[in-house]
């Protein structure tokens, strides 16, 4: 719920009761500044040996092959690494949770076996290698293998309740599948037994949901759970009586999980549930909105307006016509003068109290903005703001302060990207056909 509220605040999706309020959405501006500071371009993968022994040519060439294969994948549009990283960084800064998932895809084709004399007549009961056998399966050849990096929406990533991430018992994700995809993946019986129960709108949020509402395809929510205690992978759908599928560890990874450790915001050693950064300084954000709304209303009220004597037509003409060097005649000048002239006919709305309040509110708004920048660690030097009166030392102090606060987030993003690369390299080593590794790396033409 906190994550959804933070996303709504980021997108400025407010209640209809506050639709006319003038908010100061500095939360979105700060998030965009941090996004640029945390991830700007594709990283350059580096694979090296743990021990750089002089005679270890096998290790050196193996590291070079894996490094080239990973670099080759970054340019593949099916890899989605760059898009995944950009979405993950935004999820970390807004909702407080960012996750990714890696999948191995293998393309195969059947190898035609030429018939031999007699093999279409005689075969044993267990002779399934004979093309004439009813259970014969033609041999297949691996044509291509790839590792896809899937972005996981922050609310679709699941893990067991635990104090710290290392104590988790299982990790999982939600997958949304159509009826055709269910039948292709789990078979016709189980595919048709799954209810298409996916609802993109949360209960009670029909008016301000941030997820698509008009999805024409009905889908089922399938839970893919990787159980670390039994080393099994389970596919399950609520409303289906039986498990859709259950397999032993399909990848054999050292860490078992096919996903890097997620980026979690503001967690402690007592609970691994993240809390969005917005909630850490929500009082300042809300106070800034209140002050900005008051300033907007006072600005609307700060205008030249007054009342005048209805019987004095010349006063009305003077304000409405507004022509330069124009003399407006006044009937019965003596009576007009007895009423103290123009001053006695017009009374203006006093603006002194409004302008004084506006000045105080503007100062208060700047103070609250300074508190937000101090709490978020976004100094003026990061936002590109500066004053001519500031010295070089002041600029250096701001730059150093900002780098210290942001460096922790930068290290976390770098760790997240490195974990994705490490898992990808491990899957390549354990499951890729050697010919595909040679082809991807182009190692045979290396001088």
pLDDT tens track for 51-106: 888 888 898 999 999 999 998 888 877 788 999 999 999 999 999 999 999 999 88
Output the pLDDT for position 327. Answer: 60
Output the pLDDT for position 380. Answer: 47
Output the pLDDT for position 395. Answer: 53
Residue the block writes with tokens 């100061």: 24
Output the pLDDT for position 312. Answer: 61
What are the Cα distances from residue 416, in Å, to 175, 260, 263, 274, 287?
A: 22, 6, 7, 16, 34
Residues facing residue 158 across a β-bridge: 172
Parts of the chain with a pLDDT under 50: 119, 121, 380-381
Output the pLDDT for position 227. Answer: 96
Fill in the DSSP letter of residue 445: G
Looking at the chain, the number of H-run helices and the number of E-run strands are 15, 10
Give the closest residue to 91 by CA, choosing from 204, 179, 10: 10
Residues facing residue 172 across a β-bridge: 158, 225
The 140-152 sheet, strands edge to edge: 140-152, 97-110, 263-264
**Whole-number Å distance between alpha carbons of 296 and 366:** 15
Cβ burial, residue 139 (10 Å; 0-12/13-18/19+): exposed
Cβ burial, residue 257 (10 Å; 0-12/13-18/19+): buried
Taking phi over 0 as left and psi of -120 to 50 as alpha, with beta for the rest, 46 belongs to beta
Contact 113, 139 (CB under 8 A): yes
- DSSP characters over 296-318: HHHHHH-S--EEE-TT-HHHHHH
Q: How many CA atoms lie within 13 A of 345 on its CB side?
A: 18
Three-state DSSP at 326 gives: coil
């Amino acid at each position: 719920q906190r994550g959804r509220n933070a996303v709504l605040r980021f997108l400025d999706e407010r209640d209809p009761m506050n639709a006319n309020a003038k908010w100061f959405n500095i939360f979105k501006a700060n998030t965009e500044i941090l996004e640029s500071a945390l991830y700007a371009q594709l990283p350059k993968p580096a694979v090296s040996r743990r021990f750089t022994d002089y005679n270890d040519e096998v290790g050196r060439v193996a590291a070079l092959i894996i490094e080239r294969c990973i670099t080759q994948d970054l340019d593949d549009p099916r890899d989605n690494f760059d898009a995944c990283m950009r979405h993950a960084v935004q999820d970390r800064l807004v909702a407080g949770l960012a996750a990714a998932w890696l999948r191995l895809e293998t393309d195969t084709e059947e190898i035609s076996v030429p018939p031999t004399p007699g093999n279409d007549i005689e075969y044993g009961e267990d002779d399934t290698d004979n093309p004439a056998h009813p259970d014969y399966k033609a041999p297949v050849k691996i044509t291509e293998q790839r590792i896809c990096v899937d972005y996981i929406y922050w609310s679709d990533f699941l893990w067991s309740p635990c104090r710290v991430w290392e104590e988790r018992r299982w990790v999982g994700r939600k997958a949304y599948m159509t009826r055709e995809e269910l039948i292709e993946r789990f078979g016709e019986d189980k595919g048709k037994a799954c209810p298409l129960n996916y609802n993109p709108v949360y209960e009670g949020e029909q008016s301000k949901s941030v997820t698509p509402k008009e999805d024409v395809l009905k889908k089922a929510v399938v839970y893919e759970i990787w159980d670390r205690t039994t080393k099994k992978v389970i596919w399950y759908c609520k409303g289906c009586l039986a498990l859709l599928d259950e397999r032993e560890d399909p990848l054999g990874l050292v860490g078992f999980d096919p996903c890097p450790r997620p980026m979690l915001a503001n967690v402690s050693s007592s609970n691994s549930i993240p809390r969005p950064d917005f909630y850490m300084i929500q009082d300042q954000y809300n106070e800034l909105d209140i002050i900005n709304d008051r300033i907007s209303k006072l600005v609307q009220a700060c205008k030249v307006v007054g009342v005048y004597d209805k019987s004095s037509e010349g006063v009305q003409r003077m304000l409405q016509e507004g022509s330069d060097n124009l003399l407006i005649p006044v009937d019965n000048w003596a009576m007009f003068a007895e009423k103290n002239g123009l001053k006695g006919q017009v009374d203006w709305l006093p603006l002194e109290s409004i302008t004084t309040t506006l000045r105080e509110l503007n100062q208060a708004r700047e103070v609250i903005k300074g508190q937000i920048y101090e709490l978020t660690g976004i100094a003026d030097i990061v936002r590109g703001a500066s004053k001519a009166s500031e010295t070089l030392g002041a600029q250096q102090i701001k730059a150093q302060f900002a780098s210290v606060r942001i460096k922790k987030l930068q290290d976390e993003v770098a760790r997240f990207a490195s974990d994705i690369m490490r898992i990808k390299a491990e899957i390549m080593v354990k499951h890729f056909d050697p010919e595909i590794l040679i082809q991807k790396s182009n190692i045979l033409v290396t001088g």
